[in-house]
Structure 1
Amino acid sequence: MARLPRRAPGELDGEALALHEKITSGPRGASMTDEREALVGPFTAMLLSPPVGDALQELGAAIRYRSTLPPRARELAILTVADHWDSAFERRAHESAGRAAGLTEEELATLHSADPFEAAVLTTTRRLLESGDLTDDEYAALDERTLFELTTLVGYYATLAMQLRVYRVT
């Protein structure tokens, strides 16, 4: 059972309402709201501390919409983090995004890719989740910008998965 109630815009004031409007007017749009226009998933908790929540959602927007990670590789990495943390919400949300990015049902089910770059992203993501570090060979498999964006992605989605678990968001 969810520990946080979803709050519709009419139940918010000040910074929380401004953050709600920022999230729903951004690239995620209304896809992160329910029938009452209340934020869903990790965005519910972000309203608890609007300054921190805003910084966190901005980081997520940068990862999703402004990084150089190709959409297929990005969604495979996000889904790998969701699987590692058993995050049903992120899995549902990003399977849809993965399909839109061109992932097949088999790729979504197995989280594998025949593409060498995507395979390297998957290997690196799994290694980061297992140990938080990379061997020299693993480090050399991707360029440094990609590694920076990927380590940021893994940390961000691990944070969301933890928050979703703590607040019992499904």
Structure 2
Amino acid sequence: MSSRLKFLAPLALTLSLAAAWAQTPPAPGAPKRFPQITLEQIAPEGQALAQEILKISSVGLAGPYNIMFRSPVFADRMKRLLDYLRFNTSLPPRLNEFAILIQGQAWKSQVEWYAHYPLALKAGLPQHVADDLKTGVRPRDMAPDEEVVYEVSTELMRTHELSDATFQKAKRVLNDQQLVDLVAVSGTYVTVAMLLALGQEMPPEGKPMPFPAR
């Protein structure tokens, strides 16, 4: 790749991410695609799962859980995967939440950003890194491990592969399991963003949407 193309590729990614439409709410007066499920509506075999979700979810049974419960077996399997990726992954929480925000920004996912922005800051991600990311620019002054998470995630999104140079750079910072877990959390939160888009799920009523709706 020429030096000019190397310069233009990150710029093209920035512009494409910044230009992407934000996930939008239903039209005024339109019913929700998936009416909000309540604890009372969940079958007895799903009650334990629902109670677990209520203990950890910043949106209760709303957001992706409202969609997931339409497929109960999937909801159970997905919750177990999310438990690993959120609480037992080999990645430090700061990097894990950064990876989630990268997907939230790429998808302009209102709920993902609303839920994970405060979690990322609490985990130690510098606010300017998250705020730069939200605007669609490469964050300034990233730590070396944050830079690796950003470059691996965005390169995979942009080119659908990972160059030897980026892989070797990543291996100097992350071990094998951490690289696998980085890809796993990134792909899983693409699924979450798609579920949220399917149901036009939004942050709780009265809360601002992180991204301007189209």
Asked if TM exceeds 0.5, the reply is: yes
**Higher mean C-alpha deviation, range 8-17 or range 129-138:** 8-17
**Which residue does the alignment assign to 2:91?**
69
Is the 8 Å Cα contact of residues 16 and 48 (structure 1) preserved in structure 2?
Answer: no
Superposed displacement of residue 76, structure 1: 1.2
Is the 8 Å Cα contact of residues 84 and 129 (structure 1) preserved in structure 2?
Answer: no
**Which residue does the alignment assign to 1:130?**
158
5+ residue gaps, structure 2:
1-25, 27-31, 134-138, 203-214
**Higher mean C-alpha deviation, range 97-106 or range 53-62:** 97-106
Distance 1:16 1:49 in 2: 11
Distance 1:85 1:139 in 2: 24
**Higher mean C-alpha deviation, range 127-136 or range 11-20:** 11-20
State yes or no: 1:151 paired with 2:183.
Answer: yes
**Structure with greater Cα Rg:** 2
Distance 1:78 1:18 in 2: 26
DSSP 3-state at the match of 2:130: helix
Distance 1:40 1:128 in 2: 30
Q: How many corresponding residue pairs?
A: 162
Distance 2:43 2:130 in 1: 39
Correspondence for 2:146 among 92, 96, 118: 118
Q: Deviation per CA, 1:34-72, whole angstroms, max 9, x where unpaired?
A: xxxxx0111111111111111111111101100111111
**Which residue does the alignment assign to 2:196?**
164
Distance 1:20 1:153 in 2: 22
**Which residue does the alignment assign to 1:36?**
none
Superposed displacement of residue 21, structure 1: 2.0
Is the 8 Å Cα contact of residues 77 and 125 (structure 1) preserved in structure 2?
Answer: yes
Q: Deviation per CA, 1:83-141, whole angstroms, max 9, x where unpaired?
A: 11111110011101012112233121113352101110111011122233101122222
Cα root mean square deviation, aligned:
1.6
Q: Which is richer in helix?
A: 1
